[in-house]
Amino acid sequence: MASGDDSPIFEDDESPPYSLEKMTDLVAVWDVALSDGVHKIEFEHGTTSGKRVVYVDGKEEIRKEWMFKLVGKETFYVGAAKTKATINIDAISGFAYEYTLEINGKSLKKYMENRSKTTNTWVLHMDGENFRIVLEKDTMDVWCNGKKLETAGEFVDDGTETHFSIGNHDCYIKAVSSGKRKEGIIHTLIVDNREIPEIAS
C-alpha cells in the first residue's frame, strides 16, 4: 500500500511540468457578423483527449475534458443579443471530422444570406474613430459599435426617417419605397447631411 508521500505524481492543485495549454487543438475559426459587431468563434477539438473548447472573441465559453463521444453538438450564445450558436461535430470517415456552425438554427451561410436581407450595414470614419452602424429592418433597431442606440422615428413626405446621434453628429436613416416590388424599401444613412455608402454583404 502506498504512503501519502509516494502517491500520485501531481497533487490536485499543482500543474504538470509542461503546459497543456500550449498544445492547441484548434480545428475551426468563424467570423460572425451580428448587429453588435463581428464576433470570432474558435473551436478546439482534441480527438485523442476528448477535449472541446469554444472561445467567443477570445473568451472561453465552454470547456469540456475527457469526452468519450467525439461527435455531437456544443451550444452557446454570442453577442449582446445572446444569439444562439451551435457547433456540430460530425465524423466524415475514420478519424476525420467536420465542424459546422449554426446561428439561430440555420447554417452560417443561410443565416448570413438571410441577414443581408434583414439588415443594412454602414462603416464610416469620424472624429478619428471607425463606426459600424447596423439597421435591423424588421425592428428598425439601430446599432453602433455594439450598442443599441436610442432613436426617434418620423414620417416624411416620401417615407420615414429614423433619427439618432453619434457623438455630436446628427444622423438618420431614410427609408423610401423603391417603387419596385422585388427591391422593396431602400434605406440610406445620412450623417451631417451627407449620404454614407452601404458596405456590401
**What would the pLDDT profile of 151-187 be if each residue is shown by its tens digit?**
999 999 888 999 999 989 999 999 998 888 777 888 9
Listed residues 73, 90, 110: the one ending a domain: 110
Q: Is residue 16 part of a domain?
A: no
Task: Indicate whether 122 and 154 sit together in one domain.
Answer: yes
Alpha-carbon distances of 129 from 20, 25, 172, 177, 188, rounded to whole Å? 39, 36, 19, 32, 21
Task: Indicate whether 34 and 91 sit together in one domain.
Answer: yes
Q: Is residue 21 part of a domain?
A: no
pLDDT, tens digit (0-9, with 9 covering 90-100), for 57-102 = 999 999 999 888 888 999 999 998 899 999 999 998 877 889 999 9
Average pLDDT over residues 129-144: 93
| Model confidence at 19: pLDDT above 90 | no
Q: Is residue 80 part of a domain?
A: yes
> What pLDDT, on a 0 to 100 scale, did the predictor assign at position 115?
87
Q: Is residue 83 part of a domain?
A: yes
Listed residues 79, 95, 110: the one ending a domain: 110
Q: Is residue 19 part of a domain?
A: no
Q: For residue 187, give the CATH number of its domain.
A: 2.40.128.180
Q: Is residue 50 part of a domain?
A: yes
Contacting residues for 185 by C-beta, under 8 A, at least 6 apart: 137, 159, 175, 176, 177, 178
Q: Is residue 18 part of a domain?
A: no
If one counts the domains in the chain, the total is 2
Confidence of residue 200 (pLDDT cuts 50, 70, 90): low
| Model confidence at 39: pLDDT above 70 | yes
> What pLDDT, on a 0 to 100 scale, did the predictor assign at position 96?
86
| Model confidence at 21: pLDDT above 60 | no
Euclidean distance between CA atoms 172 and 126, whole angstroms: 15
Question: Do the beta carbons of residue 106 and residue 114 sit within 8 Å?
Answer: yes
Contacting residues for 92 by C-beta, under 8 A, at least 6 apart: 98
Average pLDDT over residues 129-148: 92
Q: Which domain holds residue 132?
A: 117-196
Average pLDDT over residues 116-136: 92
Average pLDDT, the chain: 85
